[in-house]
């Protein structure tokens, strides 16, 4: 996919979008084709790093203790939960649901994943918010920094789905690079590459759609 073509579509989408008094997101509408979405292997469930971030601060929550917890706090995690709080959250479904809506990414030391799955999985799982496992060979600081520039792409069983790739006030070139990263991942996700993509449109929240593919 030519980056120039993506950039031109972004510029058109931004130019055609009326000025608003609030910060708008820039979104992609992705339409797949020739795939049986009843087959879980055909569903997209990917974490994609955007080279230029989303243009807004993402919220991160970490389940950890000791030095890892302190490092997570130092790296800017919005919430750091001691493992003992897992059971407490499990008993407070309203708070867990609110957290699941507020927090973009959860991270947890691998040893606590079974307890989280058992206690919080019913809330986090359907929302695609199960924690990223933190194994002993991984650095919590690096995962937090990576997550701040990542998005979750989940098609579920739908051929059409939407994702945010930035904010309207971002530089068009940076937005086009983010879109390029998403398209590249989709292309390599399927055996037939972009032949499994019917179309991709870009638009600001309140603006018209412009075709990218």
Residues 162-171 pLDDT 10s: 999 999 999 9
Last residue of a domain, one of 93, 124, 147: 147
Instruction: Please give the pLDDT value at position 23.
Output: 85
Domain hosting 88: range is 60-147
Locate 134 and state its tokens.
């933190």
Statement to judge: residues 74 and 106 lie in one domain: yes
Statement to judge: residues 143 and 68 lie in one domain: yes
Instruction: Please give the pLDDT value at position 198.
Output: 97
Q: Please say whether the beta carbons of 123 and 100 come within 8 A.
A: yes
Instruction: Please give the pLDDT value at position 21.
Output: 82
Statement to judge: residues 71 and 122 lie in one domain: yes
Statement to judge: residues 129 and 156 lie in one domain: no
Last residue of a domain, one of 147, 162, 188: 147
Burial of 92 (0-12, 13-18, 19+ CB in 10 A): exposed
Statement to judge: residues 167 and 200 lie in one domain: yes
Statement to judge: residues 110 and 135 lie in one domain: yes
CA distance 204 to 175: 11
Element (H, E) at 189: helix 172-189
Locate 199 and state its tokens.
């179309």
Please give the radius of gyration of the chain, using alpha carbons only, rounded to the nearest integer.
Answer: 19
Instruction: Please give the pLDDT value at position 22.
Output: 84
The whole model's pTM is what? Answer: 0.81
Instruction: Please give the pLDDT value at position 57.
Output: 85
Element (H, E) at 16: helix 3-16
Statement to judge: residues 123 and 49 lie in one domain: no
Distances in Å between the Cα of 72 and the Cα atoms of 59, 82, 116 are: 12, 12, 18
Statement to judge: residues 99 and 128 lie in one domain: yes
Statement to judge: residues 82 and 118 lie in one domain: yes
Query: Which CATH number is 21's domain given?
Result: 3.30.190.20
- Split into its structural domains, the chain has a count of 2
CA distance 117 to 110: 11
User: What's 195's DSSP letter?
Assistant: G
Instruction: Please give the pLDDT value at position 1.
Output: 66
Last residue of a domain, one of 147, 167, 187: 147
Statement to judge: residues 36 and 69 lie in one domain: no
Statement to judge: residues 134 and 64 lie in one domain: yes
Extended strands (E) in 113-209: 132-134, 150-154, 160-167, 197-204
Instruction: Please give the pLDDT value at position 116.
Output: 97
Q: Please say whether the beta carbons of 77 and 63 come within 8 A.
A: no
What own/partner pairs with CB < 8 Å and gap ≥ 24 does 99-104 have? 99/61, 100/124, 100/127, 100/129, 101/127, 102/59, 103/59, 103/60, 103/61, 103/78, 103/79, 103/129, 104/58, 104/59, 104/60, 104/147, 104/152
Instruction: Please give the pLDDT value at position 56.
Output: 87
For the chain, which residues score pLDDT lower than 50?
none
Statement to judge: residues 135 and 179 lie in one domain: no
């Amino acid at each position: 996919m030519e980056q120039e073509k993506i950039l031109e579509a972004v510029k058109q989408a931004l130019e055609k979008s009326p000025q608003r008094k609030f910060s708008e997101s820039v979104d992609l509408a992705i339409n797949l084709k020739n795939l049986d979405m009843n087959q879980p292997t055909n569903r997209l469930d990917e974490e994609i790093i955007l080279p230029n971030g989303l243009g807004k601060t993402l919220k991160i929550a970490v389940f950890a203790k000791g030095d890892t917890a302190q490092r997570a706090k130092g790296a800017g995690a919005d919430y750091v939960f001691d493992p003992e709080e897992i059971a407490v959250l499990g008993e407070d479904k309203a708070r867990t649901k609110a957290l699941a809506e507020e927090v973009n990414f959860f991270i947890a030391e691998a040893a606590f994943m079974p307890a989280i799955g058992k206690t919080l999985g019913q809330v986090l799982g359907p929302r695609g918010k199960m924690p990223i496992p933190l194994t002993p060979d991984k650095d919590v600081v690096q995962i937090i920094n990576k997550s701040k520039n990542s998005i979750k792409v989940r098609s579920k069983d739908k051929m059409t789905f939407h994702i945010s790739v930035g904010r309207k006030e971002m530089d068009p070139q940076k937005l086009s690079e983010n879109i390029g990263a998403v398209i590249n991942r989709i292309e390599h996700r399927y055996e037939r590459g972009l032949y499994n993509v019917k179309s991709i449109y870009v638009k600001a929240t309140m603006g018209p759609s412009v075709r990218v593919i």
